[in-house]
Structure 1
Amino acid sequence: MSDRRTTPATDRIALERLRGAVDRPAYTAGRPATVIAPVVDLCAAPDGPRERQLLFGAPVTAVDTEGAWTFVEARDDGYCGWLNSGTLAEGLPPATHRVAVPATHVYHHPDIKNGEVMSLSLGARLAVTGTEGRFACLSGGGFVPLVHLSDQPAGDPVEVAELLLGTPYLWGGNSRSGIDCSGLAQTALRACGRNCPGDSDQQFAAMSHEVPLAEIQRGDLLFWRGHVAMATGPDRMIHANGHTMSVAYEGITAALTRIESAGDGAFLGVRRP
């Protein structure tokens, strides 16, 4: 059975590449689009529960529409779901930069005292057309402090994850406003130019380089059933977790004991991305 989360098809229509593999009344090439909201929920059904989130600048392929909702496939990781159609735009230029700090603001003018348009999270992507003083000029209008942007991938996923320390835990979250365990791992790895699926079970399945717990290194991922954390060293990890309801450090031995005693899920092992 195909995984609904990564099958770009509704009951009515599927992407053309699924013809012959998925039976639907109609098929489409899809329409390229870009997320233009700071953060948007990717839902299991129109107006349904959140499964993941997409950030400003995320490229998607629009597959189907129903009322005010559009079914999309995220082009970064193939995750599929419904989002509000008003959060999408077509025909935008490709992103050139990413937000490389926990959060930033888009301003009306290149002046921090002149009012902001919106706030953007770590990992949001922007099309920069030039600079004005200490600000980047955006293709759709607005200005962002240059010091908050980068046009190069980060070098250390642990350093990226640490930027989000203290961020509140949010199931399915992918932003500075709220993030979950797999969202943190994906954000950290993607900032470094590495592919990473959206949910922890997908991440575990995608990473075949198994590492003994005694040989764990910085940047390795620890997996439990339904949970993932990132090692910051041989005896400590960082994770978004429901225990502290935040992104926090925790000793690896202490976490193994705590999670086992709570019965929250079996430890599956360590994987090196």
Structure 2
Amino acid sequence: MTDALDHRLNAFRPDLADARLKGRVEADRFVEGMPARVSAPVTPLKRFPRPDAMAETEALFGEDILVFETTPEGWAWVQLEDDSYVGWMSSDALGERDAAPTHRIIAPRTLVFPGPDIKLPPLFALPMGARVTVAAEAVDHNARYGLIRPAGAIVTQHLGAPNEAADDFVSVAERFLGAPYLWGGKTFMGIDCSGLVQVACRMAGITAPRDTDMQERSLGTRLAGVEGLERGDLVFWKGHVGIMVDGANLLHANAHHMMTAIEPLAETLARTEEKGLPVTSVRRMAR
């Protein structure tokens, strides 16, 4: 009964499932997801509730989630509301949904100061795409700040409206050049290939799923091959994706460079073909 449902995007296990899936899956118990919001700057989402389990994606500060279970060991089984991804995260990263976010971070990374003064030691940093609630503004001789809930100050040039859309998702992706490669990562501190595509698309107002196979099925329209490529075309391999910055060069977070890099597509093709990994498709995003 569960074969048709992707476990990454639907919360179901033999012992517990999302009440919305009743009649579609078998489970010992069905529960309503409890609304919550991510309160940590960034937190990994894992397939298994273990510290050593591989992270499959990340949840960002201010992101709305549904919680289906919490354990005495400090884990929460959740679903991200943005892209529907399901997994385990630390219960310490759970917060309440209070005032709705008013802004999101538009810089690759910003510092949160304890007050409106850039000389104060920062409390923590927030990644691009994190959402914050600005309760007031302040200014000093250095900058203008948004004062966020529950506490902290962020320079206003790093804040954008929640639905503010960049003109070009490739330009957003280019801001991650040099970011270290991290499986499951979605921030400038560590990002993977599909995370780069998802974050860049989202900041440009384009809904994008999390993983390469999902992106290959749903983003853009299929092209015949790798000839005549343009800026913004997506090139897919099994388990990998890159973004064309022009007709010849590819931008991708990759394990060869162990960072987000731009290189000639011809070099990428030679390397992947040597490994027996041909291009599986090329997709053109809408202009």
TM over 0.5: yes
Question: 1:198 is paired with a residue of what secondary structure?
Answer: coil
In the TM superposition, 1:172-191 aligns within 5 A as 172-191=184-203
Q: Is residue 267 from structure 1 mapped to residue 279 from structure 2 by the alignment?
A: yes
The two structures, once aligned, show a CA RMSD in angstroms of 1.3
In the TM superposition, 1:84-163 aligns within 5 A as 84-133=90-139, 134-151=144-161, 152-163=164-175
**Aligned residue type for 1:132:** A
Q: Compute the displacement of 1:11 (Å).
A: 3.4
| Equivalent in the alignment of 1:77 | 83
- Contiguous gaps of at least 5 residues in structure 2: none
Say whether the 8 Å CA contact 2:192–2:253 is kept in structure 1: yes
Say whether the 8 Å CA contact 1:9–1:63 is kept in structure 2: no
Write the distance in 1 (CA, Å) between the matches of 2:249 and 2:35: 41
Question: 1:136 is paired with a residue of what secondary structure?
Answer: strand
Say whether the 8 Å CA contact 1:10–1:64 is kept in structure 2: no
| Equivalent in the alignment of 2:247 | 234
Q: Compute the displacement of 1:208 (Å).
A: 5.6
| Equivalent in the alignment of 1:35 | 38
Question: 2:123 is paired with a residue of what secondary structure?
Answer: strand
- Contiguous gaps of at least 5 residues in structure 1: none
| Equivalent in the alignment of 2:264 | 251
Q: Compute the displacement of 1:139 (Å).
A: 2.2
| Equivalent in the alignment of 2:60 | 55
**Aligned residue type for 2:186:** N
**Aligned residue type for 1:11:** P
The Cα offsets for residues 188-223 of structure 1, whole Å up to 9 and x where unpaired, read as 001112111111111112236102322322112110
4+ aligned runs moved over 4 Å, structure 1:
none
Q: 1:168 aligns with which of 168, 180, 183?
A: 180
When the two structures are superposed, what TM-score results if normalisation uses the length of structure 2?
Answer: 0.91
| Equivalent in the alignment of 2:11 | 8
Write the distance in 2 (CA, Å) between the matches of 1:187 and 1:135: 25
Q: How many residues were matched structurally?
A: 272
Q: Compute the displacement of 1:10 (Å).
A: 3.3
Q: Compute the displacement of 1:131 (Å).
A: 1.3
When the two structures are superposed, what TM-score results if normalisation uses the length of structure 1?
Answer: 0.96
User: In terms of mean alpha carbon deviation, does 140-149 or 23-32 score higher?
Assistant: 23-32
Write the distance in 1 (CA, Å) between the matches of 2:220 and 2:125: 37
The Cα offsets for residues 30-82 of structure 1, whole Å up to 9 and x where unpaired, read as 11111111111100010122111111111111111222111111111111000
Write the distance in 1 (CA, Å) between the matches of 2:158 and 2:19: 39
The Cα offsets for residues 224-268 of structure 1, whole Å up to 9 and x where unpaired, read as 0010001111111110001110000011122112211133x2311
**Aligned residue type for 2:57:** R
Write the distance in 2 (CA, Å) between the matches of 1:98 and 1:253: 37
